[in-house]
Amino acid sequence: MIGKHGLGDSMRGASGDPDIYEERIIRDSEICGGEPVFKGTRVTLRTVLASLAAGDSAQEILADFPSLKAEDVQAAIAFAAACAEEDLPLPAIPQIR
């Protein structure tokens, strides 16, 4: 179910946990030139992330791409979170004297 913020209850708090996205996002050289897509669709991860970045709600994305499920949008968010965890430097630990 989609909540008031466009994310279902199960989607809030999506983390970079690979279990969330590894089952839903695949890469196959025979599908969309090998770009990551959502399993069983030709919808690319890039398309969903760009839609989220542009301010589209999960509800709008699901309406635009009926082959997707709410779990696919959650997987896109989890994937982005995992990438951010890998790419962002950790803040320095302050020295206590």
Instruction: For residue 32, give every residue at least 6 positions away whose Cβ sits within 8 Å of its Cβ, in sequence order, or none.
Output: 42, 44
Residue 11 banded pLDDT, cuts 50, 70, 90: very low
Which pLDDT value is given to residue 85?
77
Q: What share of the chain is helix, strand, coil (3-state, %, to 5)?
A: 45, 5, 50
CA distance 22 to 48: 16
Which architecture, in CATH terms, is 18-84?
A: Orthogonal Bundle (1.10)
- What global pTM score does this model have? 0.72
Which pLDDT value is given to residue 7?
42
